[in-house]
Amino acid sequence: MDKVSLKIKLIYKSLGAAEKKIADWIAENPGKIISLSIVELAEKCKCSEATIVRFSRKVGLEGYQDLKIALAAETRPTVSTTITANDTAGEMFDKACNEIYCSLELTKKALDPDALAVAADAICKAGKIALFGLGNSASVALDASHKFIRAGLNATACSDNHMQMIVASHLADGDVAIGVSHSGSSKDIVEALKVAKEHGATTIAITNSRIAQLAIIDTLYYYVAFNLSDKAVEAIKETERSLRSKKY
């Protein structure tokens, strides 16, 4: 979980103005840095070569060449950054647990508690909650909708990009739209949130790894359950009562 792109996001606020230009260019042009010399990148980012070297060192690398190699490795399809075909099943489990732990620790450092509180309060007060997710993120959005419904909220998960736009266009002031995206740059999800915002809804984006997304969803659910108090508790009890006939 030592991905350079993630490290850049974590330290972005601490970067200087010129260094942020480099970070922005890398984020907006994935994979393109590989073919550029340090002089060419400096020209594109309108900064000095020394700034690029300094930027590389701030993300834990020796220099520009190491930065290129690290980013190139991220662009290659991979199942895991640490697990190899030679590992035993037990070793794979250990490494998977470590990756999850590291992902959650990085999320703790990157997450803004104030922004989380604002999002949680908006969900508690929402008339309608629309959750948008595609691909692997669709299951996270669905999990969130299940939790919010259990707590008595009006929540719906949409995994079809056409339906997402339709639902977003019918949201209004007091409603909440939540976009779930691993990369944070899924065009359909971003466009649906834009439409929701244009219609007055509060928009929330949940990104990063699936396990981090689920941790944030659980946190929002706990916040709703405790802050809606009796209403949420009774809704959860009613949900459990309605499901008794489905169990042995």
Q: How far apart are CA 42 and CA 177, in angstroms?
A: 39
Residue 82 lies in a domain: no
Are 130 and 204 within one domain? yes
Are 40 and 154 within one domain? no
Q: For residues 95 and 140, is the Cβ–Cβ distance under 8 A?
A: no
Query: Tens-of-pLDDT digits for all 248 residues of the chain?
Result: 457 888 898 899 999 999 999 999 998 888 788 878 899 999 999 999 999 999 999 999 999 989 988 887 776 555 676 788 899 999 999 999 998 988 888 888 888 899 999 999 999 999 999 999 999 899 999 999 999 999 999 999 999 999 999 999 999 999 999 999 987 778 899 999 999 999 999 999 998 788 999 999 999 999 999 999 888 889 989 998 998 888 88
Question: What's the total number of domains in the chain?
Answer: 2
Are 55 and 124 within one domain? no
CATH number of the domain to which 28 belongs: 1.10.10.10
pLDDT of residue 1: 40
State which residues form the domain around 149. Answer: 112-246
Are 68 and 190 within one domain? no
Q: How far apart are CA 241 and CA 226, in angstroms?
A: 20
Q: How far apart are CA 233 and CA 225, in angstroms?
A: 7
Are 141 and 238 within one domain? yes
CATH number of the domain to which 170 belongs: 3.40.50.10490
Instruction: Break the chain down into helix, strand, coil percent, rounded to 5.
Output: 65, 10, 25
Which two tokens mark 71? Answer: 């980013």
Are 44 and 158 within one domain? no
SS (H, E, C) 138-151: HHHHHHHHHHHHHC
**Among 75, 103, 121, which residue terminates a domain?**
75
Consecutive H or E run containing 176: strand 176-180
Which two tokens mark 72? Answer: 């190139």
pTM: 0.69
Are 35 and 120 within one domain? no
